[in-house]
Amino acid sequence: MTAPAVDWLADLQDQAEHTVMARGVSKIYHMGDEEIPALDGVDVTIRTGEYISIMGPSGSGKTTLFNVIGALIKPTEGSVFIDEIDVAQLDANELAWLRCRKIGYIFQAYNIVKVMTALENVTLPMLFAGVPADEAQDRAVEILDRVGLGDRILHTPKELSGGQQQRVAIARAFANRPAIILADEPTANLDLKTGEDIIHLMKEMNAERGVTVVCATHDHKMLDISDRIVWMEDGQIKKIADRDEVKIEISQMSEH
Amino acid sequence: MRVASWDIGKLALRPRLVWIMALSSLKVRLHRTFLTMLTIVTSTAFMMYLFTMPRSGDLTERQSWMLMLVLSLLVCAAGVLNTMLMSVTQRYREIGTMKCLGALDSFVLLAVLTESALLGLAGALAGVGIGLVISILLGLGEHGLAFAQHLRLDGLLWKVPLVFAVGMALTTLGAAVPAAIAARMPPMDAMRGEK
């Protein structure tokens, strides 16, 4: 008799432990008369606080899945839940709120607003969220200091290297204390060493702040620090591996 | 069932940020800002001049000038349209990024409209002044110090506001389409990798 209640409790607990849940997500793009399926029935659950990498060749649906999770595009079929909230039910303003408060985006090309200083870039999302200007500025200084740019807060992107710009982007993404960070190929434009630094910074921030990180990447350096890796192919999830499994595979790869 | 530790909220429009965005965009593209303002200045100055020009010119001549006025106003609107379209397309990724950071469609719309309204305001003000000055100078040249009797200075109370309003309306008209394009731009465009 007690079994159903326990199930229910377990369910509840399970729900509380994940941040993103995609169920049966498909996305079809139309090119003239042609239908191009970018995603084909994807199910994925992303646990709270984990660092998950999405890997796969270009055209595998990686970016589309990423955009769907980030509430940037609507799936043709299926649903996406962020903390149990069905993204499809939200209106334009609520979506903007979600992007502003709950999701932090990190882009391949940094996308720092060129005409603004590092400080202004990090302050911007907080101002959109309604944080008072003074408080936003204090928090921006603190977080820029955390990503190692404490002495460059008044520099504009022109005066910053690629790695430094990506640090600004990371600070900006974490500014509103989001639930998820979405990073799209964050190291693709960086050299090996700088890319490694950025990966470690993201991992540290992930551990410190307990923020879930979802990262689309080609970069095999990313495998080492990911809790789980999702492999995509032809719009489907081919495999989801835990870090331990991946480590074994890598060691096998290096043996051959 | 919702077990989220938070509830979806709503974002409010931040007028102060709209203002800052518009100003910084004008400042960054100062050359183009200046050139666009020039088209507004010349067409409103032309209009103001036609309204106040010395009476010596014969009527048919003045009528044919009215046609030119319409043409110059159209050219001005096209100039503003062009400038604002460029301003928007150049900032495609910037606008998309801001949308990812929480910019509302209405925020983007208002920022672009404010930018053009500021252009219009400055241009129309200068145009009204310059048009009047040209009339006065020509009147001085033709009639000497008694120029004031020969100028069409009657109804200045409606002429000045009318010219000013036409200048502002033209800029708003020219900016309407670019503003709508920018506001409706999907945020995912910012995600694309190209520089």
Tens of pLDDT along A111-147? 999 889 999 999 999 999 999 999 999 999 999 999 9
Model pLDDT, residue B59:
64
Residue B4, domain member (yes or no): no
Nearest CA in chain B to A94: B10
Residues B156, B158, B161, B167: is their CA dihedral positive or negative? negative
Whether A98 and B8 lie within 8 Å, measured CB to CB: yes
Count of the separate structural domains present in chain B: 1
Pick the residue with more confidence: A41 or A246?
A41
pLDDT band at B2 (very low <50, low <70, confident <90, very high): very low
Identify whether the C-beta of residue A71 lies closer than 8 Å to the C-beta of residue A105.
no
pLDDT band at B99 (very low <50, low <70, confident <90, very high): very high
Q: What would the two tokens of residue A49 be?
A: 């606080």
Residue B151, domain member (yes or no): yes
Nearest CA in chain A to B16: A127
Residue B111, domain member (yes or no): yes
Q: Which domain holds residue B38?
A: 15-187
| CA A96/CA A184 separation, integer angstroms | 19
Model pLDDT, residue A220:
84
Identify whether the C-beta of residue B123 lies closer than 8 Å to the C-beta of residue A139.
no
Identify whether the C-beta of residue A149 lies closer than 8 Å to the C-beta of residue A171.
yes
Residue A13 phi, psi (nearest 5): -65, -40
Residue B1, domain member (yes or no): no
Q: Is the pLDDT of residue B176 over 80?
A: yes
Alpha helices in chain A (DSSP H): 3-16, 62-69, 92-101, 118-129, 133-146, 162-174, 192-209, 243-255
Model pLDDT, residue B67:
86
Residue of B5, B187, B193 lying closest to A99 (CB–CB): B187
Percent of chain B clearing pLDDT 70 (strictly above) = 92
Q: Is the pLDDT of residue A215 over 90?
A: yes
pLDDT band at B4 (very low <50, low <70, confident <90, very high): low
Residue B8, domain member (yes or no): no
List the single best residue of B1, B100, B184, B189 to mutate versus A (max A Cβ within 10 A): B100
Residue B3, domain member (yes or no): no
Nearest CA in chain A to B190: A111
CA of B146 vs chain A CAs: smallest distance (Å): 53
**β pairing state of A85-86 and A228-233:** unpaired
CA of A248 vs chain B CAs: smallest distance (Å): 32
Q: Could you give the 3-state DSSP secondary structure of residue A80?
A: strand
Whether B191 and A72 lie within 8 Å, measured CB to CB: yes
Residue B143, domain member (yes or no): yes
Nearest to B83, CA basis, from B168, B175, B19: B175
Tokens 């649903």: give the residue.
Answer: A79
For residue B191, list chain A residues with Cβ-Cβ distance below 8 A: 63, 66-67, 72, 105, 107, 184
* Mean per-residue pLDDT, B136-162: 87
| CA A52/CA A41 separation, integer angstroms | 19
Question: Residue A11 CB: number of other CB atoms within 10 A?
Answer: 12
Q: Where is average pLDDT lowest: A7-16, A193-202, A243-252, B76-85?
A: A7-16
Nearest to A99, CA basis, from A178, A23, A46: A178
Q: What would the two tokens of residue A32 be?
A: 């003239």
* Mean per-residue pLDDT, A164-171: 96
For residue B100, list chain A residues with Cβ-Cβ distance below 8 A: 72, 99, 103, 105
Mean pLDDT (chain B, rounded): 86
* Mean per-residue pLDDT, A10-33: 79
Q: How many helices (H) and strands (E) does chain B have?
A: 7, 0
Q: Does the interface ipTM go beyond 0.85?
A: no
Model pLDDT, residue A183:
93
Residue B156, domain member (yes or no): yes
Alpha helices in B29-91 (DSSP H): 30-52, 59-90
Identify whether the C-beta of residue B119 lies closer than 8 Å to the C-beta of residue B21.
no
* Mean per-residue pLDDT, A159-177: 95
Q: Is the pLDDT of residue B1 over 70?
A: no
Task: Compute CA distances B88 → A61, A130, A190, B115, B190, whole Å.
Answer: 29, 25, 28, 11, 13
Q: What would the two tokens of residue B4 be?
A: 């989220």
Q: What would the two tokens of residue A165 be?
A: 């710009």
Whether B11 and A130 lie within 8 Å, measured CB to CB: yes
Model pLDDT, residue B52:
87
| CA B184/CA A94 separation, integer angstroms | 16
CATH class for the region spanning A48-76+85-255 = alpha beta
Whether B193 and A188 lie within 8 Å, measured CB to CB: yes
Model pLDDT, residue A114:
87
Identify whether the C-beta of residue A147 lies closer than 8 Å to the C-beta of residue A119.
no
CA of B174 vs chain A CAs: smallest distance (Å): 24
* Mean per-residue pLDDT, A199-204: 93
Q: What would the two tokens of residue A70 be?
A: 């980030």
